[in-house]
Structure 1
Amino acid sequence: MRDKMAYTTADMMTCAMSRLLQDGEVAFHGVSSHMPMVSMMLAKALHAPSMVHLNIPGGVNPSTLRNTSYSSAGTELVRHSESTFSLLDVFDLSIRGKLDVAFLGGVQFDQHGHVNASIIGTPDNLKVRLPGGAGSAVLIPTAKKAIVWRTKHDVRTFVEHVDFITTKGNLWKIVTPLCVFDYFKGRLVLDSIHPGTTVEEVKAQTGFKIHETEVPVNAAPTQQELNTLRKIDPNNLRAIEFK
């Protein structure tokens, strides 16, 4: 078991996502995406200096996160950037097969890789209306690598069948507080677990059957990663979704 005082779940998830990024890739994050935003900055600082960081307000390679707004879509990401690249151009880039990574969200996921960001319930028995597909409906099917993150991992989030299919297929990874899922041959498989988590715990918190019994454990955040996180994200924006 890890020392819970050494690093937080937000630290672990941010480092896990950062490690998925490679040097030279073009990566994008949307609104309310503090954890992916910080993970991209972390990757550029440590192992992917030539990665291109695109964001929803249109900034290219922002130099600082110190005054970034709650939505992660503030003008600071443009004012402190090398250049600008509009959201319309991001969609065009992805459709043309030139967007390497897109960080996207969702509320429900099932074993077939379906993503629900639209409603909970049915159209005739609506319980919750969600934000909708927005960019996910375009970017998940077209980006080379679609990485989804979710700060909750329970049987209401990972379900047998989603209530509504906002988008589907072409997922690459899903990062949660417990583990990382991979999308392989049309279904989600357990790719790795975080330190302090067991496969049995993941199974108990997942609403569809997990067939894997032995999976690797992700390395805990290194001291270098933690030091860099505190430097580039001194306001701990990466933890906002847990509050």
Structure 2
Amino acid sequence: MNKSYRTSDLMTCAIANLLYDGETVFHGVSSHLPMVAMHLAKQLHAPNLVHLNIPGGVNPSSVMSASYSSAGADLVDSSEAYYPLEEVFDLSMRGKLDVAFLGGIQFDINGNINASVIGDYHKPKVRLPGGAGSAVLIPTAKKAIIWRTKHDRRTFVEKVDFITTRGNLWKIVTPLCIFEYRYGKLHLDSIHPTSSLEEVKENTAFELLYDEVKYTLPPTEKQLQVLKKIDPDDLRSLEF
């Protein structure tokens, strides 16, 4: 296994590779990894990508000083313009938001996403933050990308405990693989070079659907060099 990069580097580069030049892309709170990936994409292959965030910043010049929440005022202070959150929801509902990065705690093969409770809704073992904006953005954004830094059978379950949202899901990027939602089911899109089909199977509670076994492109030397420059504080690894 190539030791020149870590899982956080691999996931960041894999997410950056999913973004295209000219797209309008939004990330929310506690979204350091996709935030860095958006900046990486702008630096390398998508200079005209439009970066939107929760505090209202448009194309912040840097993420190096971003606050711990990835939703601080610094992301506005260094931005080209101000675009408030309520306008992001309106943009998405008008079909003008290309990509939204969102989170979740449980996922099943049918593309259901749980961010509300673990256990029975009325007597939960754990009550989670809830859907926040995802109930609007997942159905209305052109492409919804989920990232999750844990991949185990408690995360990728046979049936979620509660359906917070579902719908226009596109990709789920994990430390082991990338899932793609198509034909109403999650399909295995690619396995990371640091993992294996057997490892993904062992850590997924539902049946793996795939046409062929494909592997995620590893980070390039150029991507790793740029990551060190734009993210010297290693914000992309905060969730690990």
Please say if residues 95 and 143 of structure 1, whose CA atoms lie closer than 8 Å, have aligned partners that are also in contact.
yes
Matched residue SS, 1:191: strand
Give the deviation of 1:215 after TM superposition.
1.6
User: Cα distance, 1:76 vs. partner?
Assistant: 0.6
Partner of 2:102: 104
Q: Give the aligned partner of residue 115 of structure 1.
A: 113
What code does the residue aligned with 2:81 have? Answer: S
Shift of 1:213: 6.9
CA contact (8 A) 2:121 2:162 kept: no
Structure-2-length-normalised TM-score? 0.98
131, 142, 145: which one aligns with 1:144: 142
Q: Deviations over 1:178-216 (max 9, x none)?
A: 000000100000000111211111011001011337321
- For residue 169 of structure 1, report the CA deviation from its aligned partner: 1.5
Q: Which runs of 5+ in 2 are unaligned?
A: none
Distance 2:209 2:202 in 1: 13
Q: Is 1:3 the counterpart of 2:2 in the alignment?
A: yes
Please say if 1:189 is aligned against 2:163. no
Distance of 1:58 and 1:8 partners within structure 2: 31
Deviation, 1:125, is 2.9
The sequence identity of aligned pairs, in percent, is 66
For residues 43-192 of structure 1, the aligned pairs below 5 Å read 43-192=41-190
Residues of 2 paired with 1:31 and 1:64: CA distance?
17
Asked if structure 1 preserves the Cα contact closer than 8 Å seen for 2:186 and 2:209, the reply is: no
Partner amino acid, structure 1, of 2:229: K
Match for residue 40 of structure 2?
42
TM-score by length of 1: 0.97
Asked whether the 8 Å contact 2:20–2:46 carries over to 1, the reply is: yes
Comparing 62-71 and 10-19, the one that deviates more: 62-71
Runs of 4+ in 1 over 6 A off after TM superposition: none
